[in-house]
Amino acid sequence: MESQENLAIDMRGISKSFGVVKALIEADLQVSRGSIHGLVGQNGAGKSTIIKVLAGILKPDAGTIRINGETVSKLTPASVERLGVHFIHQDRLLVPTATIAEAIFLNHEPKIGPFVNHREMARRASALLKLYFDLDLPPGMLVQDLTTAQQKIVQITRALAQKASVLVLDEPTAALVKKEVDSLFRVLRRLKDDGIAVIFISHYMKEIEDLCDAVTVMRNGTDVGVVDPRSTAIDDIVAMMINRDVGEMFPRRRSTVGAPVLQVSGLGMAPYFSDVSFDVKAGEVVGLTGLLGSGVKELIQCLFGLDRPDRGSVTIDGTAANFPSPVSAVSNEVALVPEDRRAHGVAVGLSVRENISLASLSRYSKGGFVSRSAENASIDGLIKELSIKTPHRDALVKTLSGGNQQKVALAKWLSCQSKVYILDEPTVAVDVGAKVEIYTLLNRLAAEGAAILFMSSDLLELAGFCDRVLVIYRGELVNEYAAGELDSDVLLSAASGARTTARRASA
């Protein structure tokens, strides 16, 4: 075990309950100075809670906390920053109308007497960006004009300007492309070499393997092990997280494939995509993928009535269905599970029950009256099937963890009993255990005869879960692979244009 003198963060025996729900049970987290320490676990495993305790947002019921060797009995967000611990949140929390320099030095502006020294603030901001990131961003540029990656850099620079000794990064790569991720990792390794401790929270296990020196694995509110990802297989870490064999990741589907339900013929919307034709049969899960800018996002928006195609046709069970609006799509038994489910999928001020039944009240209504018993039975079934961690069905969604909010949003659309489900990155930022639960639910829907179009950028997921995969490259459907041909390397080659000879999968 690491000596206390070398620990930047030393949390021991941390417990925290919310009513009857035990979020943390004697959990430990020790992070060495000058190291990058991963923190992994399923949604609801306790990761967010232990970080909120460290941030001074939540007060623990029991346990001790030492920061850089100093025992702290009471933490607040302000006091933890004074102790050198800074948090880089998944939601960027920057003032969009502030300049880069203002964002970096917010509440810590250099002054001449009572006045802010804007020239010195700009000079220091430029120097810090150059020193740590080798960037020449104009310090007067507005935050709202920056890319997602640049905003993340501004957040980190703000922490470094305040002499951070510990950086806590919560899903920092969720909205970044690979080139931006590589750049961020180079910076984090440089900060590690400078003696800064980094806590890295991510659902992307390959990133954990590539970046981290050690990983704390959490499950059911406590730590279940600290491992070296360089000598421990990813499958073994995942098995610790979900307490099951990773070979069960993609549960087998036992559905009978029937006639085509969704048929797309010659669909196009200039300049995004053109002449796209495919079908999805009853009981079938068809994958759909393409790189950023390929037109794949615009395609699924057209299929749900969010955009209008300028050519081609869509039919549902043989009936023309070029939907003028999402309302029309829903009324024709087509459901879309959006990628940003917390922004577009849930009403945080409503209960779990109200959110899940929002899009399917007609199922429980007769003569203008809602059958509460039928509604509750369906809601309770989905809560159990997706393992949504909530005290009860009437708990407000805003009281749930982010991952469980996503599950509620997913349950809302999957409760519609639609003919066609269009899923846009249904497992993004979802832990591996929740993924298995989502796959299992989708298998049930397929077995009931639903046609499922599964859009994902996770090529391993597509290869492991789908019956067929369609690949879009620069607006064209260039390849289609059957289950026996599926391989993540082949899919990447096709999506990047290395394999662009269009061909059909075997039926």
Cβ 170 vs Cβ 86: under 8 Å: no
pLDDT at 212 (0 to 100): 96
For CATH 3.40.50.300, list the domain ranges present in the chain: 4-243, 260-495
* CA–CA–CA angle 82, 86, 89 (5° rounding): 145
Cα-based distances in Å from 412 to 64, 84, 383, 436: 40, 42, 11, 18
β-strands 420-424, 334-337 pairing? parallel
As a whole number of Å, the end-to-end CA separation of the chain is 57
Cα-based distances in Å from 223 to 202, 227, 389: 16, 11, 18
Cα-based distances in Å from 79 to 32, 83, 168, 419: 21, 6, 15, 54
> Which residues are CB-contacts of 399 (< 8 A; sequence separation ≥ 6)?
18
Cβ 211 vs Cβ 37: under 8 Å: no
What does the alpha-carbon distance between residue 455 and residue 278 come to, in Å, rounded to a whole number?
14
**Which amino acid does the sequence have at 317?**
D
Judged on CB neighbours under 10 Å (0-12, 13-18, 19+), 373 is: exposed
- Return the structure tokens found at 24: 């943390």
Please spell the DSSP secondary structure of 13-33, one letter per residue: EEEEEETTEEEEEEEEEEEET
DSSP three-state, residue 337? strand
> Which residues are CB-contacts of 452 (< 8 A; sequence separation ≥ 6)?
280, 284, 285, 286, 420, 421, 423, 442, 445, 446
What does the alpha-carbon distance between residue 190 and residue 195 come to, in Å, rounded to a whole number?
9
The beta strand positions in 19-156, using DSSP E, are 21-32, 36-41, 62-67, 70-72, 85-88, 111-112, 115-116
Please spell the DSSP secondary structure of 477-504, one letter per residue: EEEEEEGGG--HHHHHHHHTTSS----P
Cβ 491 vs Cβ 462: under 8 Å: yes
Q: Which CATH architecture has domain 4-243?
A: 3-Layer(aba) Sandwich (3.40)
Judged on CB neighbours under 10 Å (0-12, 13-18, 19+), 320 is: exposed
Q: Which residues pair with 200 in a beta bridge?
A: 38, 169
Q: Sheet harboring 273-281: ordered strands across?
A: 273-281, 260-269, 311-316, 319-320
pLDDT at 502 (0 to 100): 43
Q: Which CATH architecture has domain 260-495?
A: 3-Layer(aba) Sandwich (3.40)
Cβ 28 vs Cβ 214: under 8 Å: no
Which among 406, 109, 463, 113 has a CA at the least distance from the CA of 285? 463
Count CB-CB contacts under 10 A for residue 355: 22
Which among 49, 62, 56, 52 has a CA at the least distance from the CA of 80? 56
In eight-state DSSP terms, residue 247 is: G
β-strands 420-424, 451-455 pairing? parallel
pLDDT at 382 (0 to 100): 87
Judged on CB neighbours under 10 Å (0-12, 13-18, 19+), 199 is: buried
What does the alpha-carbon distance between residue 457 and residue 289 come to, in Å, rounded to a whole number?
6
Cα-based distances in Å from 484 to 358, 361, 497: 39, 40, 21
DSSP three-state, residue 286? strand
pLDDT at 253 (0 to 100): 87
Helix (H) or strand (E) holding 129: helix 118-133
Which among 242, 234, 278 has a CA at the least distance from the CA of 260? 278
pLDDT at 394 (0 to 100): 93
pTM of the complete model: 0.60
CA 232 to chain centroid: 24
CA 411 to chain centroid: 16
The beta strand positions in 420-498, using DSSP E, are 420-424, 451-455, 468-473, 476-482
**Which amino acid does the sequence have at 173?**
T
Cβ 408 vs Cβ 353: under 8 Å: no
- pLDDT per residue, tens digit, the chain (507 aa), is 456 779 999 999 999 998 777 889 999 999 999 999 999 987 678 898 999 999 999 999 999 999 999 999 889 999 999 999 999 876 657 888 999 999 999 989 999 999 999 999 999 999 999 988 888 899 999 999 988 778 888 988 999 998 899 999 988 876 676 777 888 898 899 999 999 999 999 877 888 989 999 999 998 899 999 999 999 988 788 778 877 655 567 888 888 999 999 999 999 999 899 999 999 999 999 999 987 778 999 999 999 999 999 999 999 999 888 778 888 888 888 998 887 766 667 888 899 999 988 877 777 777 778 788 888 888 998 898 888 889 999 999 988 876 788 788 878 877 778 899 999 988 876 767 778 888 988 998 999 999 999 998 877 788 889 999 999 988 999 999 987 777 777 787 787 675 544 444 544
Count CB-CB contacts under 10 A for residue 204: 16
pLDDT at 36 (0 to 100): 97
